[in-house]
Amino acid sequence: MGVACGESPKEGADGPDYSMLDRACPGTDGCASNTGALRVGAAVVDVSPECWETWDDLDGNSEYDPSTDVFYDCGCDRMCPSDEGYAGPDDGEADGAFQALWIAGFGNGRAMASVHDAIEARAVVMESGDTSVAIVTLDVVGWFFDDAMIIRDAVAAAGSSVDLVIVQATHNHEAPDTMGQWGRRFGERGVDERYMVQIIDGAVEAVLAAESARTDVSMVVGVADSAAPFGDKGTFNTVRDSRDPVIIDEEVGAAAFIDSSGQTVATLVNWGNHPEVLDSRNLELTADFPWALRDTVENGLDYASRTQSGRGGVTVYLQGAVGGLMTPLGVTVTDWDGVDHADASFEKARALGDIIGGLALDALETGVAVADARVSFGVLRVDLPIENFGFQALFLMEVFERDMFGYDDTRPFDDNNMPLIETELNLVTVGPLRLLTIPGELTPELAIGGYDGSRVRSSMVEFVDPSNPAPPDLTAAPQGPFLKERMAGDFNWILGLGNDELGYFVPSYNYVLHPTQPYISEADGDHYEETNSLGPSTVPMLLEAAETLTAHSP
């Protein structure tokens, strides 16, 4: 472990020891100070696919089957000779091969058929003195650490002076596969490498544009309660915890950066829920509810019972703690006019985005104004074992393409020959706001506790389902302090899927594997998440790394 900014200063027994981290700014060479005005810029780049072929789902099962369905062999531009405006054959046209883009997040074989709204890279750059951080969010299911490093390297190669680039996926389940496991069939890599290059280029462009747009700003930070407006229904109007015990972080966090003319440059919104409103049957490209949320914050609401002005600027949705599993599936969203939206539909996605967007606007109306915010951060790399032999197989099959190390490839994997994977945690401070990146899907209870049943916030939901055949042993649950308390800011946000997607982070007290088919089948009593986790060692190591990061960051 080495500090990237140069030799770290040591501040004595009572201060942070930067040498405990891989990077720390300010206070090291290249980022010596964060004294100066807060400057912020933001940008949006459309990274919707440019090259793909469409198809007709003739059997109506939302899975492409060449024996029953038909694809149109018209090439990248999807223009066939009989179409008006046809300019001639292009890449892949009439070659007999289906240039499919496989939609990630549910099952295999879900080929994209059309576009509803854009997939975007949205970036914000925050700077004070010579310390700066960029966050770029991508409307995709996940983004591996190795690929995040490609974006970082490309930003640096383009001449950027940004000290830290954070790449976060919104965890969108309605966009092309960027990880590998959602191809045409199980075991067949689903990533289109041409599209990966397009996303990388778009992310780099967004960061550079945001950096160029920096201007002096003041800051407003606030929080809204997503349960409060909906009475007994509470949190169950927007999100469902599908795993016992039911623990939901109801807070919607918002931060706005305002220039000297009073115009909003950027708004950050933090809340945790899976972008999967459209469910597994959808074949239209969409950013899901973040599409509507961002539009609401920028352009406002116009309901009969609620009209709200937008803030303009660029809104960046920062995914929160979504493990557990936080989902809008099975939720009937009642919109601001009292209209119910139960089915998987764009109307439901619109309603959900309007609710969270409206609450973000509320949070800023009552938020704390900050005139002199400064930027700092700490970075800590951590190596985690891949204990899940299902994941091991996907690596060996090259469905996942990223580096494993620390093992003898001439021997089978076992407890004494376990492959490792490198990932990273970041802790960023901007005035009273602290943001902790987590390289996957954190269960909210690891962030906020709630083992006393106080974070259900809905009378329509049981804390523990009485029919659960193997309920969690809450007497074994940890006592805290939990991650948000340890972060010690006035406003503390978890940035889920920050710089990586390593699956679910499940609390150790309730990590249960199937007795005969571990990682393949789930154990009785809500244990799906274990099948999509690295293994039982992950959370203790992650929490230890987070504690080191919070204790030693500037």
Angle, helices 145-157/193-212, rounded to nearest 10 degrees: 50
In a domain, 534, yes or no: yes
Q: Are residues 333 and 387 in the same domain?
A: yes
Q: Give the model's pLDDT for residue 119.
A: 98
Angle, helices 346-365/289-299, rounded to nearest 10 degrees: 40
Burial string for 159-188 (b: 16+ CB within 10 Å, else e) reads ebebbbbbbbbbbbbbbbbbbbbbbbeeee
Whether the predicted pLDDT of 441 surpasses 80: yes
Whether the predicted pLDDT of 270 surpasses 60: yes
Q: Are residues 177 and 226 in the same domain?
A: yes
Q: Are residues 62 and 41 in the same domain?
A: no
- Using CA atoms, how far apart are residues 425 and 441, in angstroms rounded to an integer? 13
Whether the predicted pLDDT of 357 surpasses 60: yes
Comparing C-alpha atoms, which of 542, 444, 448, 547 is closest to residue 500? 542
Per-residue pLDDT band at 76 (split at 50, 70, 90): very high
Whether the predicted pLDDT of 11 surpasses 50: no
Q: Give the model's pLDDT for residue 15.
A: 64
User: Taking a C-beta distance cutoff of 8 angstroms, is the pair 134, 164 a contact?
Assistant: yes
Whether the predicted pLDDT of 9 surpasses 50: no
Q: Are residues 217 and 88 in the same domain?
A: no
- 38, 67, 99 - which closes a domain: 99
Q: Quick one: tokens of 541?
A: 């190591």
In a domain, 106, yes or no: no
Query: What average pLDDT does the segment 430-445 reach?
Result: 98
In a domain, 286, yes or no: yes
Q: Give the model's pLDDT for residue 14.
A: 59
Q: Are residues 92 and 141 in the same domain?
A: no
Query: What average pLDDT does the segment 342-368 reach?
Result: 98
SS3 181: coil
Whether the predicted pLDDT of 354 surpasses 50: yes
Whether the predicted pLDDT of 376 surpasses 80: yes
Whether the predicted pLDDT of 504 surpasses 50: yes
Total number of domains in the chain: 2
pLDDT digits (tens, 9 = 90+) for 315-334: 999 999 999 999 999 999 99
In a domain, 485, yes or no: yes
In a domain, 374, yes or no: yes
Q: Which residues pair with 45 in a beta bridge?
A: 121
Q: Are residues 198 and 260 in the same domain?
A: yes
Q: Are residues 366 and 492 in the same domain?
A: yes
Q: Are residues 76 and 156 in the same domain?
A: no
Per-residue pLDDT band at 3 (split at 50, 70, 90): very low
Q: Give the model's pLDDT for residue 16.
A: 72
Q: Give the model's pLDDT for residue 398.
A: 96
In a domain, 472, yes or no: no
Q: Give the model's pLDDT for residue 375.
A: 98
Averaged pLDDT score across all residues of the chain: 95
Q: Are residues 126 and 87 in the same domain?
A: no
Please tell me the number of Cα atoms within 13 Å of 162 on its side-chain side. Answer: 33
User: How do 333-334 and 340-341 pair as beta strands?
Assistant: antiparallel
Per-residue pLDDT band at 46 (split at 50, 70, 90): very high
SS3 335: coil
Q: Are residues 177 and 222 in the same domain?
A: yes
Burial string for 449-469 (b: 16+ CB within 10 Å, else e) reads bbbeeebbbbeebebbeeeee
Whether the predicted pLDDT of 7 surpasses 60: no
Q: Are residues 195 and 63 in the same domain?
A: no
Asked whether the bond before 444 is cis by omega within 30 degrees of 0, the reply is no
Q: Are residues 146 and 90 in the same domain?
A: no
In a domain, 277, yes or no: yes
Query: What average pLDDT does the segment 234-259 reach?
Result: 98
Q: Quick one: tokens of 413?
A: 């994997």
* Percent of the chain whose pLDDT exceeds 70: 97
Q: Give the model's pLDDT for residue 417.
A: 97
Q: Give the model's pLDDT for residue 343.
A: 97
Whether the predicted pLDDT of 12 surpasses 50: no
pLDDT digits (tens, 9 = 90+) for 207-232: 999 999 999 999 999 999 999 999 99
Range of the domain at 238: 18-47+117-461+477-552
Comparing C-alpha atoms, which of 58, 256, 25, 203 is closest to residue 127? 25
pTM of full prediction above 0.85: yes
Q: Give the model's pLDDT for residue 18.
A: 82
Whether the predicted pLDDT of 10 surpasses 60: no
Whether the predicted pLDDT of 13 surpasses 80: no
Per-residue pLDDT band at 104 (split at 50, 70, 90): very high
Query: What average pLDDT does the segment 379-395 reach?
Result: 97
> Cα–chain-centroid distance for residue 230?
26
Q: Which residues pair with 334 in a beta bridge?
A: 340
pLDDT digits (tens, 9 = 90+) for 82-102: 999 999 999 999 999 999 999
- Using CA atoms, how far apart are residues 7 and 274, in angstroms rounded to an integer? 41
Q: Quick one: tokens of 469?
A: 């055949």
Whether the predicted pLDDT of 467 surpasses 90: yes
